[in-house]
Amino acid sequence: MIFDTHAHYDDEAFDQDRETLLAGLPGAGIARVVNIGADLASCRRTIALTERYPYIYGALGVHPSETGELDEASFAWLKGQCGLEKCVAVGEVGLDYHWKEADVRTQKNWFRRFLDLAKEARLPVVIHSRDAAQDTLEILRAAGAKDLGGVMHCYSYSKEMAKSLLEMGFFFGIGGVVTFQNAKKLREVVAYLPMDTLVLETDCPYLSPEPYRGKRNSSRNLPYVVRAVAEIKGIPEKEVERITWGNACKLYGMGEGGKNCILSTGDLCCAQSLQTLEGA
């Protein structure tokens, strides 16, 4: 069974078939999904999804490009929602110097505020960082991120950057990009990283793996990512699923090694997946 640690099922790309698609995920081997907030509206929609589906959890935060919409009142609202039972992380938050819809000063300010919020709420962070490696690293270090924990979403930086994040105890989100023919650098990083630091993600509806590159992504495509990681690491695909499941549960505080990650008696999908994993 597979754990999708980063998805955006509230996105309008799923408006026509969201209910059918999400209802079919357990049968397709997707036992758990964390839907990620990217702005205030998507955080509200994420909360609604967690209330409707027992196997969907949420991370609440504002993408760096959207931080211009934040003020003290909206930040206070987010802070309150982070106490919800099915909110398992703060994110996605960070820095994006590629698009720069929000100026650098604004991005840095709210990035620091979200790290403080995560520390106060005792939640891990989901980090978005694009073309901003050094500033991201400096802010994480200054915030004491080593004691916080989290995941570098859609990792795209060097092995040197990965080494610094490893020292902080971070996980690395690996998705469809690892299947691309031009993803030599990422495959080298995946080969370098310890298997117990990798988690699977889609970032759907974006970043579909080969052979569906350019089309709408969904958690159903994660077996292609599993296959790519298995080939890089030289281990069976089932082993990739087992290890990344445990890593994801550890990342999101759902139990060490995935053995105790049932948060409620209603989470039957997780229980079934654990039985599958233990019998593998």
- Judged on CB neighbours under 10 Å (0-12, 13-18, 19+), 134 is exposed
Q: How many whole angstroms separate alpha carbon 209 and alpha carbon 78?
A: 32
Report the pLDDT value the prediction gives residue 192, as an integer from 0 to 100: 97
Task: Extract the tokens encoding 213.
Answer: 């590159």
Q: Are 103 and 95 in contact (CB under 8 A)?
A: no
Report the pLDDT value the prediction gives residue 274, as an integer from 0 to 100: 42
Q: Which residues contact 122 (CB under 8 A, 6 or more apart)?
A: none
Q: Residue 233's domain spans which residues?
A: 2-279
Report the pLDDT value the prediction gives residue 195, as an integer from 0 to 100: 98
Q: Which residues contact 204 (CB under 8 A, 6 or more apart)?
A: 4, 7, 8, 9, 11, 216, 217, 218, 219, 221
Q: How many whole angstroms separate alpha carbon 245 and alpha carbon 258?
A: 6
CA 179 to chain centre: 18
CATH number of the domain bearing residue 108: 3.20.20.140
Q: How many whole angstroms separate alpha carbon 219 and alpha carbon 2?
A: 9
Mean pLDDT for each 10-residue chunk of the chain (280 residues)?
98 98 98 98 98 98 97 98 98 92 95 98 97 97 93 95 96 98 96 98 98 97 98 98 98 65 42 42
Other CB atoms within a 10 A radius of the CB of residue 189 amount to 21
Report the pLDDT value the prediction gives residue 263, as an integer from 0 to 100: 44
Sheet containing strand 150-152, strands side by side? 2-7, 30-36, 56-60, 87-96, 125-130, 150-152, 171-174, 198-200
**Report field, pTM of the whole predicted structure over 0.85:** yes
Report the pLDDT value the prediction gives residue 100, as an integer from 0 to 100: 74
Report the pLDDT value the prediction gives residue 167, as an integer from 0 to 100: 95
Q: Which residues contact 143 (CB under 8 A, 6 or more apart)?
A: 112, 115, 116, 119
For the chain, the first-to-last Cα distance in angstroms comes to: 10
Report the pLDDT value the prediction gives residue 190, as an integer from 0 to 100: 98
Report the pLDDT value the prediction gives residue 24, as an integer from 0 to 100: 98
- Domain count for the chain, please give it: 1
Q: How many residues does the chain have?
A: 280
Q: Are 82 and 44 in contact (CB under 8 A)?
A: no
Report the pLDDT value the prediction gives residue 99, as an integer from 0 to 100: 80
Q: How many whole angstroms separate alpha carbon 27 and alpha carbon 12?
A: 23
- Helix (H), strand (E) at residue 33: strand 30-36
